Amino acid sequence: MTKDQVKQVVLDIIADIAPDEDLSHLKSDVRLRDQLQLDSMDFLDIVMELRKRHGIEVPESDYLQLASLDSSAEYLTPKFNAKS
Amino acid sequence: MNSTLHYDVAIIGAGMSGLAAGIRLAHFGHRVCIFERHNAVGGLNSFYSIAGRKYDVGLHALTNYVAPGVKGTPLGKLLRQLRIDRAELELWPQKRSRVAFGERGEISLAFNNDAGLLESEVARGFPSQIDGFKRLVALIQTYDGFGLDAPVESAREVVRQFITDPLLEAMLFCPVMFYGSAEERDMAFRDFVILFRSILLEGMARPTDGVRRIIRVLLDKYREAGGERRMKCGVKKIIAREGRAAALVLEDGSEVTATHVLSSIGAVETERLYRGETVDDRDVGRLSFVETIQVFDRPTDELGWGDDTIVFFSTSPDFRYERPSTQVDTRSGVICFPGNFSTSPETTLKEGMLRCTCLANYDQWKNLPEETYRADKERWFRSISATVRKILPAARDDATVAQATSATDMFTPLTIERFTGHLQGAVYGSPRKNRQGTTGLSNLYLCGTDQGYLGIVGAMLSGISMANFHVLQKS
């Protein structure tokens, strides 16, 4: 999987858990929290959806890696590729 | 048939909190079953039919209403967590509500879903209090009433730092207490914050079909997520072993086991399931209610009742929120016109309806001979109707109003106890809330009323946060 594909995976999850957010102008290098109204409950859901849909585990100590789309792709892409 | 059914999570009670918890858990792949004693779901917020007419119980309105696009509020969190599209609920905002004090309800504070109206009403009626009121509102807006570790402070003491006029204090406590306080006379400030915000700063709306719509949406989500439920199958006993809920004995005598158990039936009610009837009732709530329901053959504004959606009233400036010494206390109450929400022409209710809720004394309704019980109900129905006519005079005369009445009903603390299982008909449960939801057994947790998030959105958030806190964040 490419980093862009992984970004899309994360975007799809955010679109499902926060359908009231406009994701069309999201900057991938800026913290999600600064662009969207996401609270800790929402971040927990991103982590749990990653596990449910893709079998990817994100330990609590790594939650900060999901701060922006870029950092998420950086962190998650090897995990996706290690799986297949 | 030695194999016992095992679930990841067993939930006791299919009310709002149990269903919400079930949706979360089933969505994330847990094997969940909800055990419900009755044939209907909804718990405190449900409905029934008489002669083809459907009546809501509990819910007057969905509180915590905010306009579409307003984020970061309890309603928004709830919708996200349960993956509910707001349009599914089809919410219609209230027209206008009031707090009305005095013999004829002549001292009035109007409010609607724009907090600016209440502020201007306070400025008009209590000019010396407006600065304090604004500072109180500012505190409420930044206070996290939902925190699992929120301290328990006296709301009276906190509010008095801002509001010095006893009449205004009473008028602010009246709606807040009636819509969710389990405590007499005072309440925890964190609960005051949740309710004040949900009613007076956010607002009220009604889904098309009332509570039935919410229940249908929750049931659909739960089913889609793969959750199971067993109706007419309450839990009779929890078998405790080594500090854990080892098994649940169901009313049909069979046993099931579960890794986690979430109980929405109340703190004392839950404890009795594993400790037996010896658990004392010190923590059982003392507040219960009667509610009268009148159905009319025409919308209530045609009888001259105007645009009021909800009216919280007290005939005396000294508002007392406590178990009355008589069967019913008609000096204060809540009047609701379910027809007075801004609906579309297709969803407007054809019949008018008026509901009035007053404080009641459980002990004085209990153990009455059937005949006395019925006669008392009729007598109090008339007394409550007379109070309503004083607070909200209809333009039409009594004979016309009587003629327009097509059905009436009334429920008492006994009705509430029978259908909700809350001991002594204590709608809002125990005055001692347990935010963390922990119990004497390590894998048994409380959600719902006695966990302590209040209001209907609060109830669902309670199920969500207990499912998150005790199960999802730990697996």
Q: How far is CA A20 from CA A10, A50, A66, B73, B84, in A?
A: 16, 20, 20, 13, 11
What number of CA atoms fall less than 13 Å from residue A71's CA on the CB side?
A: 12
Residue from the list B29, B76, B472 with its beta carbon closest to the beta carbon of A20: B76
β-sheet bridge partners, residue B263: B12, B446
Mapped onto helix, strand or coil, the DSSP state of residue B468 is helix
Domain map (residue ranges) of chain B: 5-62+209-282+431-474, 112-201, 286-427
Whether the per-residue pLDDT at B202 is higher than 70: the answer is yes
Disruptive mutation site among A13, A16, A20, A33 for chain B (greatest number of B CBs within 10 Å): A20
A41 neighbourhood in chain B, CB within 8 Å: 77, 80-81, 468
Q: Which amino acid is at B308?
A: D
- pTM here is 0.94
The answer to whether domain B5-62+209-282+431-474 has CATH 3.50.50.60 is yes
Query: pLDDT tens digits, residue range B108-136?
Result: 999 999 999 999 999 999 999 999 999 99
- Domains for chain A: give ranges and CATH numbers: 3-83 (1.10.1200.10)
User: What is the C-alpha to C-alpha distance for residues B473 and B61, in angstroms, rounded to an integer?
Assistant: 32
Mean pLDDT to the nearest integer, B70-78: 93
Residue B6 backbone zone (phi > 0: left; psi -120 to 50: alpha; other: beta): beta
Query: By the 8 A CB rule, do B61 and B310 touch?
Result: yes
- Inter-chain residue contact A52 with B28, CB threshold 8 Å: yes
User: What is the C-alpha to C-alpha distance for residues A47 and A42, in angstroms, rounded to an integer?
Assistant: 9
Residue with the larger pLDDT of the pair B22 and B351: B22
- Inter-chain residue contact A45 with B81, CB threshold 8 Å: yes
Mean pLDDT to the nearest integer, B96-110: 96
- Residue B397: the pLDDT is 85
Query: pLDDT tens digits, residue range B386-430?
Result: 999 999 977 788 889 999 999 999 999 999 998 888 999 999 999
Cβ–Cβ contact A57 with B under 8 A: no
Mapped onto helix, strand or coil, the DSSP state of residue B472 is helix
Whether the per-residue pLDDT at B1 is higher than 50: the answer is no
- Residue A77: the pLDDT is 97
Enumerate residues 6+ apart whose C-beta is below 8 A from B372: none
- Inter-chain residue contact B468 with A44, CB threshold 8 Å: yes
Query: pLDDT tens digits, residue range B52-72?
Result: 888 888 778 899 999 998 988
ipTM of the prediction: 0.91
- Residue B348: the pLDDT is 77
- Residue B3: the pLDDT is 65
State the average pLDDT for chain B.
94
User: What is the C-alpha to C-alpha distance for residues B23 and B136, in angstroms, rounded to an integer?
Assistant: 36
* Percent of chain A residues topping a pLDDT of 70: 99
Query: pLDDT tens digits, residue range B317-336?
Result: 999 999 999 999 999 999 99
Mapped onto helix, strand or coil, the DSSP state of residue B305 is coil
**Which token pair is A55?**
């079998």
Disruptive mutation site among A32, A37, A41 for chain B (greatest number of B CBs within 10 Å): A41
Query: By the 8 A CB rule, do B453 and B147 touch?
Result: no
CATH number of B286-427: 3.90.660
DSSP assignment letter at B147: -
Query: pLDDT tens digits, residue range B289-313?
Result: 999 999 999 999 999 999 999 999 9
